[in-house]
Structure 1
Amino acid sequence: MKYSASEKLEIIRIVEQARLPAKRMLDQLGIARQTFYHWY
């Protein structure tokens, strides 16, 4: 699935502000850690 730049930024903010570890939050969102850190 392709995400727009604004969607990527929102996902980054959600993960940063989550009380859960990043890996767990990304698992819940269905986004691979490698993909997330590439965006980051």
Structure 2
Amino acid sequence: AVTGSVAHRAQGTRTLARGAGMVAGAFGWSYQEYARRD
């Protein structure tokens, strides 16, 4: 049960990091678009 909890938590952290990376990438991309349009 403990190892399963750790594995689940590790996967959740990995997914969260991937989601944050995609959000940061999308935000950076839109920021470049706004800067270019200016």
* TM-score calculated relative to the size of structure 2: 0.41
* TM-score calculated relative to the size of structure 1: 0.39
Q: Higher relative CO (CA 8 A, sep ≥ 6), structure 1 or 2? A: 1
The structure carrying a bigger helix percent of its residues is 2
